[in-house]
């Protein structure tokens, strides 16, 4: 009888189980990190319990262990991503979209990591206010737009790199609500203006909460020095030209929403450290290999565990749930048929069947029978 999740390739959980004890002995983790570490180690093992499934036509049997369902596990969020993408497609106006990225300079990384919950909230707030302020300027669009925003905290090499991805409709609803005003195909809002406004808003929010005592400065760092560092460096807002309609765009954004810092497919070897593939976007190079000490690899992964209950996907302006009437008006003015959601309310098995066309209950041996639950396995 074979376990359904038995695999020979390397994965994060295997590395955690092999090197985790040494890491825990030398590092202090917060509650969210400890919870994620324990869940990832136990995911799809006897520690989670499960059940034995057998074919109703032949003698084939398999053990299916339960998933941890922790959002930081790189094996669990796939079906959630599929359902989210399907639902969002059905709610978005059918038009081109822009992709923007709001990021902070590396000088602020220690400040953000020390104050993650409030700092990430302020990053969301500064990004959305920047977009709203610049879009409302009569010199540019002169009206309000909307966005789907997703927080990421990592770079390809698992370095700490907080930034916000935004998906923005390439157009706005006129102030009288009677016209859908299209943006230029290759230009939405000036990046230099966005960068300066973003820097100003981000600093005003940080300064306010530092003075209120809500944000703790790193040891040895003074407020005046922090402000000098902020204005000594140019901030950059990345903007990619107009993409296709929501079907392709949301599929693209879906890669960012339910991802964790690294997928198992990128891990190459665990001999003499952990070796994995990464892309150096600054140099425009393809896949490269990076080897880290196992303790450093686990440490980098754990830095990207978000605080408990923190929402990393948020909606603003025309795409916010509170502005449903305006969004429906945009949809009516554009007058293009919406995507029909197919996955809402389905179980994980049903979602996979719709997406892949394969029935996961079909016996892999005889190809005719159905795999039926036989025995419940309690957690060990």
Of all residues in the chain, the percent with pLDDT exceeding 90 is 52
The pLDDT score that the predictor gives to residue 8 is 44
**Cα torsion at 16, 18, 21, 24 (round to 10°)?**
-30
Q: Are residues 106 and 211 in the same domain?
A: yes
**Cα torsion at 183, 184, 188, 193 (round to 10°)?**
-120
The pLDDT score that the predictor gives to residue 161 is 93
**Most confident among 131-140, 220-229, 289-298 (mean pLDDT):** 289-298
The average pLDDT across 91-111 equals: 89
Q: Are residues 244 and 143 in the same domain?
A: yes
Q: Are residues 100 and 149 in the same domain?
A: yes
| Structural domain boundaries, residue 239 | 91-261+304-334
215-235 burial by CB neighbour count: b if 16+ within 10 A, else e?
Answer: beeeeeeeeeebeeebeeeeb
328 within domain boundaries: yes
Q: What is the pLDDT of residues 210-242, one digit of tens each?
A: 999 999 999 888 889 888 888 888 788 888 776
Nearest to 205, CA basis, from 214, 217, 218: 214
Q: How far apart are alpha carbons 352 and 26 in whole angstroms?
A: 41
Three-state SS at 373 = strand
The pLDDT score that the predictor gives to residue 253 is 67
The reported pTM is: 0.90
Conformation bin of residue 126: beta by default, left when phi > 0, alpha when psi is -120 to 50: alpha
Q: How far apart are alpha carbons 233 and 236 in whole angstroms?
A: 10
* 366 touches 55 (CB < 8 A): yes
The pLDDT score that the predictor gives to residue 277 is 92
Length of the chain: 380
- Residue 307, both tokens: 């605080």
Q: What is the DSSP string of 61-121?
A: EEEEEPP---TT-TTSSHHHHHHHHHHHHTTS-SS-EEEEEEE--GGGHHHHHHTHHHHHH
Q: Are residues 104 and 133 in the same domain?
A: yes
* 371 touches 62 (CB < 8 A): yes
The average pLDDT across 299-310 equals: 95
79 within domain boundaries: no
49 within domain boundaries: yes
294 within domain boundaries: no
Instruction: Indicate if the pLDDT at residue 285 is higher than 70.
Output: no
Q: Are residues 125 and 174 in the same domain?
A: yes
Q: Are residues 45 and 17 in the same domain?
A: yes
Three-state SS at 310 = coil
Residue in the structure block whose two tokens are 């991805």: 165
295 within domain boundaries: no
The pLDDT score that the predictor gives to residue 121 is 97
329 within domain boundaries: yes
Q: What is the pLDDT of residues 10-63, one digit of tens each?
A: 899 999 999 999 999 999 999 999 999 999 999 999 999 999 999 999 999 999
Q: How far apart are alpha carbons 189 and 212 in whole angstroms?
A: 33
Q: Are residues 316 and 201 in the same domain?
A: yes
Q: What is the pLDDT of residues 321-378, one digit of tens each?
A: 899 899 999 989 998 888 888 888 898 889 989 988 889 899 999 999 999 999 999 9
The pLDDT score that the predictor gives to residue 49 is 94
Nearest to 169, CA basis, from 249, 82, 85, 236: 249
Cα 134–chain centre separation: 25
Question: How many distinct structural domains can be found in the chain?
Answer: 2
The pLDDT score that the predictor gives to residue 6 is 45
For helices 191-211 and 223-232, what crossing angle results, to 10°?
Answer: 180
Q: How far apart are alpha carbons 191 and 179 in whole angstroms?
A: 26
- Residue 168, both tokens: 């923005």
* 159 touches 292 (CB < 8 A): no
Instruction: Indicate if the pLDDT at residue 2 is higher than 50.
Output: no
Q: Are residues 325 and 359 in the same domain?
A: no
Instruction: Indicate if the pLDDT at residue 4 is higher than 60.
Output: no
- Which has the higher per-residue pLDDT, 267 or 90? 267
345 within domain boundaries: no
- Which has the higher per-residue pLDDT, 80 or 283? 80
User: What is the chain's mean pLDDT, rounded?
Assistant: 88
The pLDDT score that the predictor gives to residue 186 is 66
Of all residues in the chain, the percent with pLDDT exceeding 70 is 92
Q: Are residues 53 and 201 in the same domain?
A: no
The pLDDT score that the predictor gives to residue 174 is 85
Element (H, E) at 255: helix 246-257
46 within domain boundaries: yes
Cα-atom radius of gyration of the chain, to the nearest Å?
Answer: 24
Q: Are residues 9 and 64 in the same domain?
A: yes
Q: Are residues 255 and 142 in the same domain?
A: yes
Q: Are residues 199 and 239 in the same domain?
A: yes
């Amino acid at each position: 009888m074979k376990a359904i999740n038995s695999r020979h390739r390397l994965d994060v959980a295997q590395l955690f189980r092999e090197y985790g004890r040494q890491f825990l002995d030398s590092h202090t983790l917060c509650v969210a990190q400890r919870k994620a570490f324990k869940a990832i180690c136990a995911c799809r093992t006897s520690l989670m319990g499960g059940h034995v499934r057998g074919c109703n036509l032949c003698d084939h049997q398999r053990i299916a262990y339960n998933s941890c369902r922790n959002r930081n596990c790189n094996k669990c969020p796939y079906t959630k991503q599929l359902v989210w993408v399907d639902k969002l497609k059905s709610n978005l106006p059918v038009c081109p979209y822009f992709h923007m990225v709001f990021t902070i300079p590396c000088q602020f990384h220690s400040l953000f990591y020390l104050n993650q919950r409030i700092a990430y909230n302020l990053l969301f707030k500064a990004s959305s206010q920047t977009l709203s302020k610049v879009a409302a300027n009569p010199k540019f669009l002169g009206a309000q737009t909307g966005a789907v925003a997703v927080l990421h905290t990592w770079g390809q090499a698992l370095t700490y790199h907080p930034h916000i991805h935004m998906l923005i409709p390439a157009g706005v609803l006129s102030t009288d609500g009677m016209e859908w005003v299209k943006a230029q195909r290759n230009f939405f809002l000036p990046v230099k203006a966005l960068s300066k406004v973003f820097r100003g808003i981000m600093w005003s929010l940080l300064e306010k909460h530092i003075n209120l005592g809500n944000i703790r400065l790193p040891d040895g760092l003074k407020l005046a020095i922090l402000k000098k560092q902020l204005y000594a460096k140019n901030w950059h807002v990345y903007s990619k030209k107009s993409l296709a309609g929501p079907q392709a765009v949301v599929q693209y954004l879906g890669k960012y929403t339910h991802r964790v810092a690294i997928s198992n497919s990128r891990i190459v070897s665990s001999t003499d450290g952990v070796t994995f593939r990464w892309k150096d976007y600054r140099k425009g190079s393809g896949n490269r290999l990076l080897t880290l000490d196992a303790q450093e690899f686990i440490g980098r992964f754990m830095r990207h565990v978000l605080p408990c209950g923190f929402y990393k996907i948020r909606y603003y302006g025309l795409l916010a749930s509170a502005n449903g009437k305006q969004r429906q008006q945009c949809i009516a003015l554009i007058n293009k048929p919406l995507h029909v959601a197919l996955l809402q309310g389905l179980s994980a098995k049903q979602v996979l069947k719709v997406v892949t066309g394969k029935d996961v209950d079909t016996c892999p041996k005889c190809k005719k029978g159905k795999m039926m639950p036989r025995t419940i396995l309690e957690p060990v």
